[in-house]
Amino acid sequence: MALAIVNSISARHAVLADAAASGAMAAFFIAGSGLVAQLTGLPAGFLFWVGIAFLPWTAALVLIGRAEPPAAGAVEAVIAGNALWVVASVAVLALGVFDLNALGVAFVVAQAVAVAVLAELQFLGVRRAL
């Protein structure tokens, strides 16, 4: 069942799902940076500015995802950006950049996994379209 769903997702839908997730995280980080900081050990200011940075990223994803089909090069750029995000997340943990508690580590891992899944869905969608 899950494989059938994965095989039916287009690059367009994967990019739009990424836009929805990125927009939600932007709002969450901007509005709730203090609470998330208390719960995770991530600095509130860092979270707030990550949320602000997500706004143009979300807008770009919407623009890319509105095309039918989206340009393969644009989706590949999104995949590359998502891959960099995952690498940066792993580096934050490996280098001990922040004094994270257990929930903070779990949060960084969970969001990195979610971004990796979106990148994989985008990759599969582009590959199917070729």
State the Cα–Cα distance between residues 23 and 83, nearest whole angstrom: 18
Q: pLDDT > 70: what percent of the chain?
A: 94
Band of residue 129 on the pLDDT scale cut at 50, 70, 90: confident
Give the pLDDT score at 37.
Answer: 98
Q: Which of 70, 92, 89 is nearest to 17 (CA)?
A: 70
Each residue of 59-69: pLDDT tens digit?
999 999 999 88
Average pLDDT over every residue of 107-120: 98
Phi, psi of 41 (to 5 degrees): 95, -5
Give the pLDDT score at 2.
Answer: 53
Q: Which of 79, 87, 26 is nearest to 54 (CA)?
A: 26
Band of residue 1 on the pLDDT scale cut at 50, 70, 90: very low
Give the pLDDT score at 110.
Answer: 98
